[in-house]
Amino acid sequence: SPSLTHLTHLEYLDLHRNDFGGASIPKFIGSLKNLRHLDLHGAGFGRKIPPQLGNLSKLNYLDISFPAYKIISSSSVDSLQWLSGLSSLTYLYMSWWNLSAASDWLESLNMLASLQEVRLCFNNLPPTDLNYLSQSNFTVLDKIDLSSNSFNSIFPYWLTSIQTVSKINLAYCGLHGSIPKAVGNLTALTDLLLDKNILEGAIPESICRLCNLQILS
């Protein structure tokens, strides 16, 4: 109900695992300017993701994963530029939406310097050279999951400069080329998932420096 907009001090809204029958996420949620936590995962929303969510500049947690209709003929967004308005965002979970038209997804994410966790798996993201991002703003990134998207790219070298990252999941991403030696710089890494790609060459000896590694796939 749009009457939610009268709750001007609302900071926490959790509607996950309800069933809204495939309706669009309401645009008016973007006017709840004090929201810090928004959880809509598995809530039966579908269709288009409203860019008005980008007005939530205080939001630090956004989970809209698992829309009602996982097989969507057209893209759920025209662009992800609205993400850049979420300047306080720490956690971003958007898995299973069709983001095939979001050619700006990587630069939009790169605007979010406070991101600690990002999960964009099974999103049908467009083929992307992951290295066109020359410099990363992800200074506190802890976990990144971009699995099951067909990028047709080599390993993103900017990831090897993020000393805080502990979990990387790039399985089923159409990666080719070699694993860079610089992966050995990621001493906080506990999980490195690169399975079901077409990587070439040996596993670099620098892997032996990953003293916290628990899972290598």
Digit-coded pLDDT (tens) for 16-63: 999 998 999 999 999 999 999 999 999 999 999 999 999 999 999 999
What pTM was computed for the model? Answer: 0.94
At residue 122, does pLDDT exceed 80? yes
List, as own/partner pairs, every contact residues 202-211 make where C-beta atoms lie below 8 angstroms and the sequence separation is at least 24, other chains included: 203/179, 204/178, 204/179, 204/180, 205/181, 206/181, 206/182, 207/183, 208/184, 209/184, 209/185, 210/183, 210/184, 210/186, 211/187
Tell me, what's the pLDDT at 74?
81
At residue 69, does pLDDT exceed 80? no
